[in-house]
Amino acid sequence: MATARLHPTLRGLTWVSPWLLGFGLFMLLPITLSAWYSLTDYSLLDRPIYVGLENYRELLHDSVAHAALKNSAIFTLATVGVGTLLSLALALLLEQRLPGSEFVRAIVFLPTLVPVIAAALLWMWALNTETGSVNTILRTLHLPTPDWLGTPTGAMASIVLVSLWGIGTFVVTYAAAIRGVPVSLYEAACIDGAGPFRRLTTITLPIISPTIAFNLVMSIIWSLQAFAVPLVMTRGGPANATTTFALYVYQNAFVFGRMGYACALAWVQFLFTLVLVAGVLWASRRAVYHRGA
């Protein structure tokens, strides 16, 4: 053969080079730039001016940033906590294999494919205080009809609700994991006289725990990134009650024109994400069941 044989590593790198290039250009470069810009005052119109740690110092005294941090914490806790319990419950329900489960599974998954802008508008309309379908149903049941988007608590509940509408991905992964649990284990447990609840806590949950850990990590990362929904539904209001940290980063960069400060905020967010994810991974090393271990 005429072609010279490349060194295997060089050949491998050549095949994956599109990804390497993209990673460098659209991730490594922006991240590096971001570290530098976070030390500058940069309004986009002028050149960046080096200000040292000034942005990070400002962050310590910025009450909106603190509110945003608190909002993100509440939002993440609510969506990850309720979302995990709800998606586990739905997966267990779907795996009972009743007639029609397949169809319900499809409808539960469908919202994850709905464009986020459409999802936000659909819910804005459904949560309309006077004429929305949510309050119409509540009124029919003689339940209180909250002003969803007009009050701080209602607005936070609303954006959590929209996120929970999109848990289909988790439901599907949990359902697949539950299906993978060996039937023999359940049979053995039944012979030993274990009830449904005991079978859930001693067999199903331990065996699918790697999936739970993985989904927890992904769901924390996604929740901390959320800002399109509050941007469209509430613009962060009322009174900054739904200004998530990511939305505040966006506002600083693209509304207030403060690129430098936005980059500093983004780094703080990255740090929080890393700490939380590391926490989950650390906890899961102890709690997660490893087959054959």
Q: Which of residues 130-159 bind another protein (CB under 8 A)?
A: 130-134
**Integer Cα distance of 207 and 222 in angstroms:** 25
Restricting to residues 38-67, which ones interact with another protein according to CB under 8 A?
none
- Residue of 49, 118, 255, 275 interacting with another protein (CB under 8 A): 118
Restricting to residues 76-95, which ones interact with another protein according to CB under 8 A?
90, 93
Instruction: Decide whether 135 or 240 has the Cβ nearer to another protein.
Output: 135
- Residue of 65, 224, 241, 280 interacting with another protein (CB under 8 A): 224
User: Interface with another protein by CB under 8 A: which range of 49-57, 61-69, 147-155, 176-184?
Assistant: 176-184
Does 214 help bind another protein (rule: CB under 8 A)? yes
User: Interface with another protein by CB under 8 A: which range of 4-12, 75-83, 147-155, 185-193?
Assistant: 4-12
Place of tokens 């848990």: 167
Buried b (16+ CB within 10 A) or exposed e, 128-158: eeeebebbeeeeeeeeeebebbebeebbbbb
Instruction: Decide whether 13 or 64 has the Cβ nearer to another protein.
Output: 13
* Smallest distance, another protein to C-beta of residue 63, A: 20
* Smallest distance, another protein to C-beta of residue 204, A: 14
User: Interface with another protein by CB under 8 A: which range of 62-70, 141-149, 151-159, 223-231?
Assistant: 223-231
Hey, CA dihedral for 178, 181, 185, 191, is it positive or negative? positive
Does 73 help bind another protein (rule: CB under 8 A)? no
Main-chain phi, psi angles of 186, to 5 degrees: -65, -40
* Smallest distance, another protein to C-beta of residue 135, A: 11
* Smallest distance, another protein to C-beta of residue 203, A: 17
Let me know: does 245 contact 71? Beta carbons within 8 Å.
yes
Instruction: Decide whether 240 or 258 has the Cβ nearer to another protein.
Output: 258
Restricting to residues 182-211, which ones interact with another protein according to CB under 8 A?
210-211
Per-residue interface string for the shown chain with another protein, residues 98-117, x marking contact by CB under 8 A: x-xx-xxxxxxxxx-xxxxx
- Residue of 69, 156, 203, 263 interacting with another protein (CB under 8 A): 263
Q: How many residues bind another protein (CB under 8 A)?
A: 94
Does 277 help bind another protein (rule: CB under 8 A)? yes
